[in-house]
């Protein structure tokens, strides 16, 4: 007796399973596409945030650089304005000294202008570095001479050859000094 292919229970089950698998695969593909779209959206959002952040940082850097330049420019301008009074006094002193033969008067004028220069620089924050009879400190002093002596302790500054200056914590110029060494 021949078998009826339409009534084959195995092929009906196979077809149903196959159809079910296709439906599951389509659902999985659909879910994967949705997940992929969500990930793409998240990536795009993060990428846009990164681009904005990079642009903000670049703008911040440029603004800071501009502000620093302005501070330097106006800081120098302020210093120059303070020194103009000193320059004026030099000019007045020069005119006043044209017809003077008295050295005491010249010395007095020079001392007044020197005092004004020192006071102006101190007001701007300039400080002299202490040297004589102080212990040598390589952060503030530069030893250009060493003299063997028993009169002063070793590493003590005997003589200042050139003044040193600092502005706040920053050394602008180290003091040139002569330092005592053991005999």
Give 127's strand partners: 166
* pTM attached to this predicted model: 0.54
Domains contained in the chain, CATH given: 10-124 (3.90.20), 127-183 (2.30.22.10)
Q: What is the chain's alpha carbon radius of gyration, rounded to the nearest angstrom?
A: 43
Contact assessment for residue 82 and residue 124, using Cβ atoms and an 8 Å cutoff: yes
What six digits make up the tokens of 149? 């002596």
pLDDT of the chain, 183 residues: tens digit per residue: 555 555 555 666 676 677 777 777 777 777 788 888 889 999 999 999 999 999 999 999 999 999 988 887 777 777 777 777 777 777 777 777 777 777 787 788 788 888 888 888 888 888 999 998 999 999 999 999 999 998 999 999 999 999 999 988 889 899 999 999 988
Query: In what helix (H) or strand (E) does residue 161 lie, and over which residues does it extend?
Result: strand 157-162
What six digits make up the tokens of 169? 């914590």
Rounded to whole angstroms, the Cα distance separating 160 from 147 reads 13
Helix (H, G, I), strand (E, B) or coil at 141: strand
């Amino acid at each position: 007796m021949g078998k009826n292919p339409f009534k084959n229970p195995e092929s009906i089950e196979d077809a149903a399973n196959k159809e079910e698998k296709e439906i599951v695969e389509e659902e999985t593909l659909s879910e994967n596409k949705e997940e992929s779209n969500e990930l793409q959206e998240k990536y795009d959002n993060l990428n846009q945030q990164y681009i904005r952040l990079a642009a903000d940082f670049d703008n911040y850097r440029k603004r800071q650089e501009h502000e620093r330049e302005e501070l330097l420019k106006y800081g120098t301008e302020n210093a120059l304005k303070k020194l103009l009074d000193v320059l004026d006094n030099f000019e007045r002193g020069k005119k006043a000294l044209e017809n003077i033969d008295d050295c005491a008067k010249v010395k007095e004028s020079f001392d007044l202008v020197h005092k004004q220069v020192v006071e102006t620089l101190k007001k701007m924050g300039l400080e002299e570095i202490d040297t004589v009879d102080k212990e040598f400190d390589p952060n503030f002093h530069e030893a250009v001479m060493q003299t063997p002596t028993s009169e002063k302790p070793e590493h003590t500054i005997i003589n200042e050859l050139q003044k040193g200056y600092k502005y706040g914590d920053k050394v602008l110029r180290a003091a040139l000094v002569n330092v005592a060494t053991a005999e």
